[in-house]
Amino acid sequence: MLEDWIVVTCGVVAIIIVMTLTLLKIRSTERRMHESTYKLKVYTDLLNSITELNLATGDPYKMDIAKKNLAMTVNRLNLVGSSGVLKSTSDLLDFLNEHRDKDYDTIRLHNILNTLVIEARRDLNPKNARRVEEAHVRYRFFSPPKTK
């Protein structure tokens, strides 16, 4: 009788432990998915704000709005971005400040943006990013010519 009680108790404890571990694993997976979804939104907003900045060339009103959007996106990025994305964003901002209202090297800008996208893909989905990198994909971006 005592042996049966010990077996039942051990079985119940084992079930509780397994259920607790499963619940913790599910919660962890949900948290990672939520974080990835938010990071994707911030990374997308960053690329969109860079595009807005490029398209606003020559229109002071649109340029002010684009700069504001970029600044607010960078602030959110500082909270959630991976170290690679933050470094690439810093390189991009340095490049933009360095070439403010001047002609700039479009190839260098595209290289910085490519690195930014690669780092974002590595952060969001490392396995897929590795396959894309091995395929030597070069990302393309629209940059209208600067008007003088």
pLDDT of residue 68: 95
User: For residue 144, what are its two tokens?
Assistant: 């209208």
- CA distances for 146 relative to 52, 55, 56, 71, angstroms: 14, 10, 10, 21
**How big, in percent rounded to 5, are the helix, strand and coil portions of the chain?**
80, 0, 20
Q: Global pTM? A: 0.77
Please tell me the distance from the alpha carbon of residue 106 to that of residue 71, in angstroms, as a whole number: 22
Residue by residue, pLDDT tens for the chain (148 residues) are 778 889 889 999 999 999 999 999 999 989 999 999 999 999 999 999 998 988 887 889 999 999 999 999 999 999 999 999 999 999 999 998 887 767 777 888 889 999 999 999 999 998 888 888 888 888 887 766 555 4
The per-residue pLDDT for 118 is: 93
Distance CA 33, CA 12 (A): 31
Separation of alpha carbons 94 and 115, rounded Å: 14
pLDDT at position 58, please?
Answer: 80
pLDDT at residue 136, rounded to an integer: 84
Q: What angle do CA 9, 14, 15 make, to 5 degrees?
A: 100
